[in-house]
Structure 1
Amino acid sequence: MRVLVCGLLGLAVLTGCGQAPAPTADGGGATVDKVRERETVIATCMKRKGFSYTPSVSQPKKADANPADHAAMKADRAKNGFGVFSAVVYPKPPETRAPDPNQATIDGLSGAKRESYLKTLNECRVTALQQVNGLKVTSVADYQDQMSTEIENIDKALDGDPELVELAAPFAECLKSKGERVTSAKPLALSVRGMVVWGEQSERLGKAGTVTAEQARPYLAKEITSALVDLECGKDFYAAFIPKQRRLTNEARVKYGFQER
């Protein structure tokens, strides 16, 4: 479940997923200030307990384009499909992040000193979450569990949304009429159906060894065709689903102290 938390909300240092999150370039300033304030509280708490800690907030990122824009989605799918085999055909360099300024300190400790530092750091993180974000958490593990529950609630809200349920039915029927595999007509399942189907295909191909770009190209061509069919069948569905999913996810991100996306 912890991987799910990191992946869906894009959470970082407080959950052990990486560095503190970057603010977006077009807003979320209040949340960014909360991140800075929280980092300062952690540093003060650590100093009080005899440890050094450097507050860390990564640089702003450019805001994403409207993810529900049909023309942009169509252009992206015409090149990348669902994003499965395109990752092999058009590999992207790994995302680089500024190193955590506290990692060197942690790496320089061993044994009991390292355990004491990390234990104290987690205690100070909880203190910061309580003071700055007003969260009723008792430990970092409790924080992670609460976020996992939040994600489950988002999933339930999307699958139980009357408008999405109504739009999902014709979306699923259209896909079936086009020969696409549909195992569930629930909104959340339909939203990730293509990635799941082609992800399974990628896994099967990968069992024979490393997949090269040349091997992946014919699969990508078929994936693109499938992705465009999916988008055309789900045009009305995605126009409603994506904004609702983003709104609920952003509400969760703000609640747990991270910037909107």
Structure 2
Amino acid sequence: MPYRHRVAAGALCAAMLTGCVSATEADPEPGAGGADASKQQAQRIQSAIADCMKQQGFKYVAWVPEQDALEEFDKASSGDYEAMRRERSSHGFGVFDLLADPGGKRVVWSESDSPNHTIKNELSDAQRAAYDKALTSCGNAAIKQVTGRVVTSEADRAEQRNKLIDQTLERELNGEPRLVELAAAMGDCLKGKGYRVDSLKPVDLDRRGAREFEAQKRALAMKDDIPERDLPEGRYYEPRLPQATAKQYLGREIKAALDDLECGRDFYAAYLPRKRAISAQVGDLFGGGGI
């Protein structure tokens, strides 16, 4: 069986309600409205979906997953040096870690946790197809009702959200004088260690390491025996690698990630809290995480 596909620019594991959210894929902390406001928004979306599904003749339970605190991950994603070092010592940039250790992904919630998973599995194949079609339609309508955003699917919602996050980060952070100064120092340090640095823009520098190893993994995926057919643009099946080989790639990734952290210790401490706040604020415009 082929590996699940993932987005080259950053893993997404999302579908309309179903799918999974892992620690490295989880949404940032809520934006200006706070955790309660974000949760209430998610509950309104779920209630709207449940009402719509009932009108379509399907049973659906309004369900908002309770996510673990993930204190260690939260610290790392906020620029805490010690937490980032512990994270990168095991997972690098988060590219080859799942291939090297298939059981090592830290899942916050999965499809089977939802009561709707059982409801759907009790349906026939034809009924499940109709259920999925109705859920997509109801999910789109609920997003528009609660947030005013027009989406065509959960994938489209994620794409719109991520695009706006990227645009906002680039507009607000790439020209911030202190971040520009810290990024230049980090870039000089990385070049001194022999790493290639194509851009000193803060947003690009933050993404540099993960993109480098993602490109390596994509190249491996294009060469293996799994055909990349019928996938959305930019997606591919995880490459089929012997675990020992994947661990070698992860070892190189961990070294690079730790070097990157040492050079960017001051940069990340200033940049990541800003990035996290912007990502959360934009995410709230689309109703937070996956439906």
TM range (shorter): 0.7 to 0.9
Deviations 1:150-177 (A, max 9, x none): 1332342366332333322222122112
Q: Following superposition of structure 1 onto structure 2, how do residues 102-251 of structure 1 map, counting pairs within 5 Å?
A: 102-107=116-121, 108-111=123-126, 116-131=130-145, 133-137=146-150, 139-140=152-153, 143-144=157-158, 146-157=160-171, 160-163=174-177, 164-200=179-215, 210-213=241-244, 216=247, 220=251, 222-251=252-281
Q: Which has the higher strand share?
A: 2
Once residues 18 and 115 of structure 1 are traced to their aligned partners in structure 2, the CA distance between those partners, rounded to angstroms, is 20
Q: Equivalent residue for 2:84?
A: 73
Structure-2 change in CA distance of 1:104 and 1:216 (3 Å)? closer
SS at match of 2:75: coil
Structure-2 change in CA distance of 1:105 and 1:223 (3 Å)? closer
In the alignment, structure 2 segments of 5+ residues that lack a partner are: 1-5, 225-239
SS at match of 1:102: helix
Measure how far apart 1:248 and its partner are. 0.9
Identity percentage over the alignment? 32
Q: Equivalent residue for 1:55?
A: 62
Once residues 145 and 11 of structure 1 are traced to their aligned partners in structure 2, the CA distance between those partners, rounded to angstroms, is 11
Once residues 49 and 128 of structure 1 are traced to their aligned partners in structure 2, the CA distance between those partners, rounded to angstroms, is 14
Q: Which has the higher helix share?
A: 1
CA RMSD of aligned residues (A): 3.9
In the alignment, structure 1 segments of 5+ residues that lack a partner are: none
Task: Please tell me whether the aligned partners of residues 126 and 140 of structure 1 are also in contact (alpha carbons under 8 angstroms).
Answer: yes
TM-score normalised to structure 2 length: 0.67
Deviations 1:65-113 (A, max 9, x none): 32211122233334444344555269516736234433455452444x5
Once residues 5 and 74 of structure 1 are traced to their aligned partners in structure 2, the CA distance between those partners, rounded to angstroms, is 23
Structure-2 change in CA distance of 1:54 and 1:23 (3 Å)? farther
Once residues 51 and 105 of structure 1 are traced to their aligned partners in structure 2, the CA distance between those partners, rounded to angstroms, is 9
